[in-house]
């Protein structure tokens, strides 16, 4: 791999996005557009990565927190050639690769071919049936590149050319310094075009090569929400192909969204309309039901997450059964063979092996032991309006339905709590504890009737 610097041009405003968010920060697969470009540059082993940014400068730097990227402000924005001039003092390597912050899907293999041509200038070009909006590659009679003409400056004949310039290029840094000093702005936009270096290269008899990507979507840019949505589906489809190639079964590869990194073991099954955010790890033979959202979580082997469940920063052990309609909030830790049923919410709690909360319960800020049964309608009352308190439920406890555990409280080993109880004090081990008001019936009572109109 040659000695390489990468410059990412990311100063565009993104007017057609109709958003206060800088264009390069709009999310693709859960991450800013430009983050994908930075990762690609890192994968090429670049000596330095330079980002030229302008609109929303502070927001861009703060959102990325990329310590290995050197940021350069372009103010005002006078074109791509002017942007490269801002980065030029930082460049030290023999070769410079130019990428764009709103072109996120270009593959490393494509760029390796581009920087490996050995020429003084290598252009990434492609042929398209709809070249509108792109600069055209004008070739001489011998088929060599003569120059690049931007559409606003092109003649009708030039506009009919189907080979277009993608903007991505690799160039000798020494040559780049010379050519940038010589470009002008005598064009319809009154801007300094980086593409003008192609004509200068021809004039100087420099060697020019062209490389084309395997897929047209690799060089697709984002200038609108519609284009962003199209690239999102392309990214998800390609990622789905990768997952299936690894042996993961997807009920429908067009209905999965991975917004981060999904790592799976063997024989994993994922049903439709599931969303994975951040780093998610699924063990061997895990099954994910339809319409689940799983964020920053780990799920152990042979576990099943049933439909419409939400897991956020949760760790589940082996052979757990979660859902349907379960909500596991940050700080939830499930040991092996735990059952969390429908409409159960757990937050900041550890649940021991073979314990169950099968329906309609809330467990928060709690430590739950092994072999515990939490009945329907049970809640831990852990917040007094100012502070959180912890509930401890020890091993082999049975909690009857509709129980309130008012923290701080400990339900000791082997305790049984009668249904409908409110527990405010620690319970003795191995005994039945209950708290109920006397049941009464009122003789002669009649239910109120509606008044006749």
Task: Note whether 107 and 126 are same-domain residues.
Answer: yes
User: Is residue 448 included in any domain, yes or no?
Assistant: no
438 in a structural domain: no
Output DSSP code: residue 388: B
- Residues 36, 55, 339, 359: which is the catalytic one? 359
Co-location of 266 and 141 in the same domain = no
How high is the pLDDT of residue 1? 54
Residue 359 is among the residues annotated as catalytic for this protein: yes
pLDDT of residue 425: 96
Q: Judge if 191 and 243 occupy the same domain.
A: no
Please give the residue range of the domain that contains residue 147. 4-219
Quick one: 295 and 214 in the same domain?
no
Q: Would 444 be classed as within a structural domain? A: no
Confidence of residue 2 (pLDDT cuts 50, 70, 90): low
Q: Which residue, 187, 219, 251, sits at the end of a domain?
A: 219
Residue 442 belongs to a domain: no
The 10s digit of each residue's pLDDT in 71-107 is 999 988 899 999 999 999 999 999 999 999 999 999 9
Q: How far is CA 380 from CA 3, 84, 344, 360, 363, in A?
A: 61, 60, 12, 12, 5
324 and 202 in a common domain: no
Share of the chain above pLDDT 70, in %: 99
Are residues 186 and 48 part of one domain?
yes
Residue-averaged pLDDT of the chain: 94
User: Are 209 and 238 part of one and the same domain?
Assistant: no
> Which runs of E-coded beta strand occur in 283-386?
287-288, 293-295, 298-299, 304-305, 310-312, 314-316, 321-322, 327-328, 332-334, 339-347, 350-351, 356-364, 366-368, 373-374, 379-381
In a domain, 75, yes or no: yes
* Average pLDDT, integer, range 42-49: 94
Look at residues 219, 238, 272 and tell me which one is the last residue of a structural domain. Answer: 219
pLDDT over 80 at 58, yes or no: no
In terms of Cα–Cα distance, which of 335, 343, 332 is closest to 319? 335
State whether 214 and 231 are in the same domain.
Answer: no
Residue 299 CB neighbours (<10 A): 28
Residues 6+ apart with CB under 8 A from 385: none
* 15 and 141 housed in the same domain: yes
What's the CATH code of the domain at 60?
A: 3.90.550.10
pLDDT in tens, 286-311: 999 999 999 999 999 999 999 999 99
Task: For residue 288, list its beta bridge partners.
Answer: 270, 305
Determine contact, residues 166/102, Cβ cutoff 8 Å: no
Q: 184 with 159, same domain? A: yes
HSE (side-chain half, CA atoms, 13 Å) at 241: 5
Whether 212 is in a domain gets the answer yes
What are 385-436's pLDDT values in tens digits?
899 999 999 999 999 999 999 999 999 999 999 999 999 999 999 999 999 8
Q: Are residues 215 and 229 in the same domain?
A: no
> Could you tell me the pTM of the whole model?
0.90
């Amino acid at each position: 791999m040659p000695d390489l610097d990468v410059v990412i041009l990311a100063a565009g405003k993104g007017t057609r996005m109709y958003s206060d968010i800088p264009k390069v920060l709009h999310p693709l697969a859960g991450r800013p557009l430009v983050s994908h470009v930075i990762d690609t540059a890192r994968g090429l082993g670049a000596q330095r990565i330079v980002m030229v940014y302008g609109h929303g400068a502070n927001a861009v730097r703060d959102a990325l927190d990329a310590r290995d990227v050197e940021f350069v402000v372009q103010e005002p924005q006078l074109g791509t050639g002017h942007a490269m001039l801002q980065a030029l003092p930082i460049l030290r390597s023999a070769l410079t690769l130019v990428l764009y912050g709103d072109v996120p899907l270009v593959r490393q293999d494509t760029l390796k071919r581009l920087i490996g041509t050995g020429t003084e200038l290598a252009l990434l070009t492609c042929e398209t049936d709809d070249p509108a909006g792109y600069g055209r590659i004008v070739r001489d009679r011998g088929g060599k590149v003569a120059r690049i003409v931007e559409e606003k400056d092109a003649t009708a004949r030039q506009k009919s050319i189907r080979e277009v310039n993608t903007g991505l290029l690799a160039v000798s840094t020494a040559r780049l310094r010379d050519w940038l000093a010589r470009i002008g702005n005598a064009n319809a936009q009154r801007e300094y075009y980086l593409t003008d270096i192609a004509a200068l290269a021809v004039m100087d008899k420099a060697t020019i090569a062209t490389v084309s990507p395997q897929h047209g979507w690799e060089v697709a840019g984002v200038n609108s929400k519609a284009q962003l949505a199209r690239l999102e589906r392309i990214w998800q489809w390609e990622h789905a192909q990768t997952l299936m190639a690894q042996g993961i079964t997807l009920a429908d590869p067009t209905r999965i969204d991975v917004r981060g990194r999904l790592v799976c073991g063997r024989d994993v099954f994922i049903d439709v309309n599931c969303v994975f955010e951040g780093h998610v790890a699924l063990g061997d033979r895990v099954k994910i039901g339809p319409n689940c959202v799983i964020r920053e979580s780990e799920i152990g082997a042979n576990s099943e997450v049933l439909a419409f469940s939400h897991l956020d920063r949760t760790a589940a052990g082996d052979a757990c059964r979660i859902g349907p309609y379960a909500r596991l909030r940050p700080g939830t830790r499930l040991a092996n063979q735990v059952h969390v049923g429908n409409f159960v919410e757990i937050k900041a709690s550890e649940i021991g092996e073979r314990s169950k909360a099968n329906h309609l319960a809330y467990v928060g800020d709690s430590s739950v032991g092994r072999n515990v049964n939490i009945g329907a309608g049970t809640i831990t009352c852990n917040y007094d309006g100012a502070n959180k308190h912890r509930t401890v439920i020890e091993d082999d406890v049975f909690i009857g339905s509709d129980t309130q555990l008012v923290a701080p409280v400990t339900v000791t080993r082997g305790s049984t709590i009668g249904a409908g109880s409110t527990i405010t004090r620690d319970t003795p081990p191995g005994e039945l504890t209950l708290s109920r008001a006397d049941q009464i019936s009122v003789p002669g009572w009649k239910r109120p009737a509606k008044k006749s109109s």
